Structure 1
């Protein structure tokens, strides 16, 4: 029998204004830092000789994973490197559209992308685009990687470019469908393939573009932040039309189905390559704080703040020195990595709710 998920606090204080000095920001930092500390410390070194990277982060460069990375810096010795796994797909639909545009404009474009020789039989033809460097998560990931280097001096962050050619996706597609079962929609598949290839951990280092396979057996994920702190666009929409009552209803729906809807699917996919995923936002103390804190203390007091999402986490990022990350908009992994709607033509217009064939 499935137990009901605890209800969120219904407290609403209209006069509240959430800022970096608010106690909620300090308390979230406290519980989240301890959660990261528990999940990042005492990880055994991977098998093999020599000192190896023990921890990797599923890294889009967005708010959730970047705050986790920043807190990891406070939990590990400075001489320990951390791998940042950033995945990008060769989306045929988008590339075809871009190539048509570029052909009309006759631009000067790169003709070679990192790792092309290892991943494709033929290099891109002149006039084509690099399908990976233009992925939103690759752009955001590199920008946040630079910010981490600035804010966390002395730490070795290994940014790993995981490039997934379209044929590679097709060859692994059925394996991912099997892993996400009983979920069976196009959206589940597009999310699943992103985590599947990210957790495989094979890509090219940046800078240098040398082939790299992460030895880390432990992965950190930002799953849970959107559900607990109001990060989805529909949370803002609910607030716009039904104020805090609508927002609370949507948040309650999401936290109630998080384990069944998201966690099981993601965990099965991430474990496929023999790695363990850990979720700092789903720590008992973090969840308890999120459930017990009033909605304004998490999401903000204005439509602009609620629409942008996760107000308290953005403020925390600011206090941690990650000012650029604090302003990043929410972007679903399937759109940031371009794993959704991969095919050109009619097949690329399939809705996310469609059942996978």
Structure 2
């Protein structure tokens, strides 16, 4: 794990200097090894200077490394004329490392290698490769690993975070579309859809059959993501999603450390502790002084890279969960992100139901799942990577997502007034042995459950800002444009 960067000059000029600048900007994601590749050469080293010094080329890729698992190694890697940088993980049950598996796809027909990765391999990943004089990019079909790209004066560039592209003068930064590959050359670039999420046909499935299938798919999603692991952390609220994952992780024989964040007196902290006791799993409670929120706020905003009160509120909670996992020596963090969009967990879906009916909810759920990479996954991965923690999301499993999206609304939301929602997932929870006080618990959004939202609003008031958005935008201007270094 770590970060990838890439650049290609449209004018035949040097791209290595831009790659080096982007790597320097992303050292918070990894600094255990550095690597740069140009068309005919790969160099790795223990410092950025060692990796990049003296190299010149109109096309280059780079990588900074954070070792999460033993298989993680310095990059770029090469096979023939192909130079590859890869971020993420494949979840097939295999002995080889993900980077080696990806590189093999380029053997024989290098220009088709990127498409073969997307067509045949399950996981969370993004990659960049030099193939001849071209630069090739790709991203997993759900967009679980961040990848951004854009055009500067006479060059194209790509990186794991927006701030790297801003650092080299790319202003119009785009999120790379999930399930696509892109081919860049001096003459331009093209995007090609390979494996993208499309709206499925609606199934007519009895509740019992849906419960059985989802239970099996979710168990398999957890199994694939725990292969070879002995200890993991789980972001835990004591609610439906995290409790289902806790039970499934425990059944796989993995040692699970539950982690929850909150303030003294918050009911959700007590509920999480009670649920952990019911599950028979250890829990670490991170109680946060209010002053710490104000201190960490600029850093979280710098990490999530958007002046959104919602993104920052959730990002602050996730920041401390990832920090607690890292300090406990746990480099893999599981979380329940993706479940609410799949199974209709948010209260706002009731408003959609009342105004647009069953069909309207079905459409909105699909759109929310399809856009989750920009709304949720990128934010959470960037916050976790700051703490050198790898995020794994079983609810964002390709096979589970495709099946769950095909289910009728009635298996998720019983009526426009359903106070619980997630009907089919609650039945799964009951089937795997969770008690009614867990599978019958009402949903609360993380920013409200942890109390972060209330604290942020109090900070805004103290700072004499009328709204939380006003406070966030104040910080945004200073952090991102005036002082782009980590706060």
Scaled by the length of structure 2, what TM-score is found?
A: 0.53
> Is the CA contact (8 Å cut-off) linking 1:186 and 1:353 kept in structure 2?
no
| Shift in CA distance, 351/178, structure 1 to aligned 2, threshold 3 Å | closer
Task: Specify every segment of 5 or more residues in structure 1 that has no aligned partner in the other structure, as ranges.
Answer: 46-53, 90-131, 150-156, 203-211
Task: Specify every segment of 5 or more residues in structure 2 that has no aligned partner in the other structure, as ranges.
Answer: 1-175, 178-192, 475-487
More relative contact order in 1 or in 2 (CA 8 Å, sep 6+)? 1
Matches within 5 A, 1:1-357: 2=177, 5-11=197-203, 18=207, 22-43=208-229, 54-76=231-253, 81-89=255-263, 132=264, 134-149=265-280, 157-181=281-305, 183-201=306-324, 213-297=327-411, 299-305=412-418, 307-322=419-434, 323-342=436-455, 343-344=457-458, 347=461, 350=467, 355-357=472-474
Distance 1:251 1:169 in 2: 32
Write 1 or 2 for the structure with the bigger share of strand. Answer: 2
Number of equivalences: 277
Q: State the SS of the aligned residue for 1:86.
A: strand
Distance 1:173 1:351 in 2: 12
| Shift in CA distance, 246/351, structure 1 to aligned 2, threshold 3 Å | farther
Give CA-to-partner distance per residue, 1:249-290, whole Å, 9 cap, x none: 321221121111111011101121111010000111111211
> Is the CA contact (8 Å cut-off) linking 2:200 and 2:402 kept in structure 1?
no
| Shift in CA distance, 353/185, structure 1 to aligned 2, threshold 3 Å | farther
Write 1 or 2 for the structure with the bigger share of helix. Answer: 1
Runs (4+) off by over 4 Å? 351-355
Distance 1:295 1:329 in 2: 19
Q: State the SS of the aligned residue for 1:7.
A: coil
Distance 1:346 1:278 in 2: 33
Instruction: Note the C-alpha offset of 1:300.
Output: 4.3
Distance 2:206 2:209 in 1: 11
Instruction: Note the C-alpha offset of 1:326.
Output: 0.8
Distance 1:5 1:138 in 2: 36
Q: State the SS of the aligned residue for 1:309.
A: coil
> Is the CA contact (8 Å cut-off) linking 2:294 and 2:459 kept in structure 1?
no
Scaled by the length of structure 1, what TM-score is found?
A: 0.72
Distance 1:165 1:231 in 2: 30
Distance 1:281 1:262 in 2: 13
Give the alignment's Cα RMSD to 1 decimal.
2.4
Instruction: Note the C-alpha offset of 1:345.
Output: 8.2
- In our comparison, the structure showing a higher alpha carbon Rg is 2
Distance 1:312 1:321 in 2: 15
Distance 1:354 1:310 in 2: 35
